[in-house]
C-alpha cells in the first residue's frame, strides 16, 4: 500500500507550503525592521491618514504568509500519517496553495497601495477626498481577501474529508 509520503506531488506541495512560509517570513521580518528602523517610514505609517494600512499589509504577510503557511504544511504533513491514508484530494491541495498565494499577494499589494496613496494624499487633500481615493483600493483588497478565505475553506474541507472514518 502506497504511503502519502510516496506521492511525489504531495511531498512537493507540502514543501512548497514550507518554502512559501520561509519566503513570507523573510519579507515580513524585513518589512517590520524597515518600519521600525527608518524614522520617516515609521512616522508615515503612524501619523498619516491611512498610513496604518501599510502596517496591516505587514501584519497580513506575517500572519497569512508566515504563520498560516507553516500551519498548513504541518497539518498536510501530520494528518495523513495520523489517519494512515493519503490526502483526500491533491487537486484541492493545489487549488489551496495557488488561491491562497494569489489572494495574499493581492491583499498585501492593495493594502500597501491604499496606505501609500492615502498617506501621501492626506498632506494636501481633505479627509473625504482621501477616503474617495482609498476606497477602490480597499475594495480590491477585499476581493483578494475573499480568495484567501476561499482557500482556507478548501483546506478545511480537504482535511475534514481526509480525517473522515469512511474511505472515499
Rounded Cα distance between 104 and 120, Å, is: 24
Q: Domain extents for the chain?
A: 7-163
Rounded Cα distance between 48 and 64, Å, is: 25
Rounded Cα distance between 32 and 47, Å, is: 17
Q: Which residues contact 113 (CB under 8 A, 6 or more apart)?
A: 137
pLDDT for the residue numbered 47: 84
pLDDT for the residue numbered 6: 78
> What confidence tier does 139 reach under pLDDT thresholds 50, 70, 90?
very high
pLDDT for the residue numbered 4: 64
Q: Which of 18-22, 95-99, 120-124 is predicted least confidently?
A: 120-124
Amino acid at each position: 500500500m502506497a504511503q502519502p509520503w510516496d506521492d511525489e506531488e504531495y511531498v512537493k506541495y507540502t514543501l512548497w507550503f514550507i518554502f512559501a512560509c520561509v519566503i513570507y517570513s523573510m519579507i515580513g521580518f524585513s518589512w517590520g525592521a524597515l518600519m521600525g528602523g527608518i524614522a520617516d517610514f515609521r512616522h508615515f505609517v503612524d501619523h498619516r491618514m491611512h498610513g496604518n494600512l501599510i502596517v496591516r499589509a505587514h501584519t497580513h504577510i506575517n500572519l497569512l504568509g508566515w504563520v498560516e503557511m507553516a500551519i498548513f504544511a504541518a497539518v498536510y504533513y501530520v494528518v495523513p500519517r495520523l489517519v494512515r491514508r493519503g490526502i483526500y484530494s491533491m487537486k484541492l491541495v493545489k487549488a489551496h496553495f495557488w488561491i491562497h498565494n494569489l489572494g495574499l499577494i493581492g491583499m498585501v499589494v492593495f493594502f500597501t497601495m491604499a496606505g501609500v496613496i492615502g498617506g501621501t494624499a492626506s498632506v494636501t487633500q481633505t479627509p473625504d477626498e482621501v477616503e474617495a481615493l482609498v476606497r477602490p483600493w480597499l475594495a480590491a483588497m477585499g476581493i483578494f481577501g475573499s480568495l484567501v478565505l476561499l482557500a482556507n475553506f478548501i483546506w478545511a474541507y480537504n482535511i475534514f474529508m481526509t480525517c473522515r472514518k469512511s474511505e472515499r
